[in-house]
Amino acid sequence: MNYSESDLQPLPDHVEFVRSRPEMFLPYGHASNGSLLGVMVDQIVTITGARTAAFRIDEWWGIACVTDWIPETNQKALSDYFQSMTACPEWAVNSVRFEIVLYAFTEDLTTITQRESTLIKGTMPDMEIITKAKQIGDNWRRMLLFR
């Protein structure tokens, strides 16, 4: 069978695409905070090879890594990692970075570095939660909190 350029269909909004096909992105095809945490940790460790911690504080789930796994570049804004499909060949052939899956299936999502806290989606954790999360260790470079 031959295909032409007119046969190609653009992807809908990337986040909606992920939400509409959970079986492509999630173990067992459904989102639970535990499975989201596990897959994200797997990807971070694969990308960085660095010490990574998974934790839970009240209703918030968190990940902290001693290496910042989200590269700062002039070509891609931080929000793009969470709202668009970004290739992740380090993890697996034809895979995408998992940040978009977190964005698609969580209500609240924040990323924290040593310099700043950035609300990605929903509501920022209370300062008490952020303070407890920062006590996970003193060598971390990036942290995610979600629920």
> pLDDT by residue (tens digit) across 1-51?
788 888 887 777 999 999 999 999 998 888 999 999 999 999 999 999 999
**CB neighbour burial string for 37-55, b if at least 16 within 10 angstroms, e if fewer:** bebbbebbbebbeeebeee
The confidence score (pLDDT) of residue 82 equals 97
Tokens of 120: 């990605």
- If you average pLDDT over every residue of the chain, what do you get? 93
pTM over 0.85: yes
What integer pLDDT is reported at residue 83 of this predicted model? 96
R_g of the chain, CA atoms, integer Å: 16
Residue 31: phi, psi to the nearest 5? -95, 125
Residue 63 near residue 144 (C-beta atoms within 8 A): yes
**pLDDT over threshold 70, residue 96:** yes
Mean pLDDT confidence for 69-91: 87
Q: What are the contacts of 36-40 at 24+ separation with CB within 8 A?
A: 36/61, 36/101, 36/102, 36/105, 36/106, 36/146, 37/61, 37/63, 39/98, 39/101, 40/98, 40/99, 40/102, 40/144
Residue pair 146/108 in contact by the 8 Å Cβ criterion: yes
Higher pLDDT, 94 or 102: 102
Q: What is the mean predicted confidence (pLDDT) over 76-87? A: 91
Question: By the 8 A CB rule, do 62 and 111 touch?
Answer: no
Please write the tens of the pLDDT for every residue from 110-134.
999 999 999 999 999 999 999 999 9
